[in-house]
Structure 1
Amino acid sequence: MDQRISFVTLAVRDVAVARRFYVDGLGWRPGVEAPGVVMIPVGERVMLSLWDESEFEAEVGPVRRGSGLAPITLAHNVASPEAVDGVLETARRAGADPVTDGVTRAWGGYTGYFGDPDGYRWEVAWAPGELTERLVP
């Protein structure tokens, strides 16, 4: 098996709400839209799939519910700490909740977080040195 990821799929309660957040709010462009799903290119050969939760469950299996957060974050790396603050402000204007301000982390980077309409957490990060060179176009 090749070492790569082709899709990151998020089961969402309402595809239209998720689409409004990502497309209208964050300004992303969908690549494929079909009933119950919006697929957004997020990298070279990588798609973010926003999939209707009931259709997700019918194909993959039941979604667990409970308190706390899903034990996953998605990350969007940028070229500077100022860019972190700018993306967090864009997320705020798009209706993200919660949004945590950017802070300098013990490992030397600068990051903040926002939640999408289904509670998935996105980290917006600037990483010093080689990581930025590898992750930011």
Structure 2
Amino acid sequence: MEPRVSFITLAVSDLAATRRFYVDGLGWEPALEVPDDVLMFPVADKVLLSLWVEPAFEAEVGPIRRGAGLAPVTLAHNLATKRGVDEVLADARAAGATEVADAVERDWGGYSGYFADPDGYRWEVAYNPGEIGQSVL
């Protein structure tokens, strides 16, 4: 198996709210949209973010674990500058993102903050000056 990711699939509770956030709020263009079922966005070369309504997700993947706390996953959007990080966090806030954590200097040498989409999935918005961070730009 080649080391690559083709789809990142997340279950969402309200596809209409998710659409409003990503399409109307952040300005993303769907690659595929099936009302009341799935919404897909190109997020990198040959990588799609696939957002499924919970019943469709569970029908294919299995039961969703529910409970207190955060989903143990983050998505990251890296940028070339700290200013870019602040701008994207401001855009997310304007789009209705909840729980926006302003960017701060991190122990690992970068600068990042977080926002949550309508289902609470955390997006890290980061400037990483290191070699690995620069490799994704």
TM-score scaled to structure 1, two decimals?
A: 0.96
Shift of 1:51: 0.4
- Corresponding residue of 1:38: 39
1:129 shift after superposition: 3.5
Unpaired stretches in structure 2, ≥5 consecutive residues: none
Alignment partner, residue 14 of structure 2:
14
* Aligned residues of 2:128 and 2:134 also touching (Cα < 8 A): no
Question: Which whole-Å CA distance do the structure 2 matches of 1:59 and 1:131 have between them?
Answer: 34
- The residue that corresponds to 2:76 in the other structure is 75
Question: Deviations 1:48-70 (Å, cap 9, x if unpaired)?
Answer: 00101111011111111111101
SS where residue 9 of structure 1 aligns?
A: strand
CA distance in 2, matches of 1:81, 1:131: 16
Deviation of 1:103 after TM superposition, in Å, equals: 0.1
Which segments of structure 1 move beyond 3 Å, counting only runs of 4 or more? none
Q: Distance in 1 between matches of 2:80 and 2:25?
A: 21
**RMSD of equivalent CA atoms:** 0.9
Flag structure 1 segments of 5+ consecutive residues without an equivalent.
none
Partner of 1:126: 127
Instruction: Number of aligned residue pairs: give it.
Output: 136
Correspondence for 2:85: 84
Q: For residue 63 of structure 1, give the secondary structure of its aligned residue in structure 2.
A: coil
Distance in 2 (CA, whole Å) between partners of 1:81 and 1:37 is 33
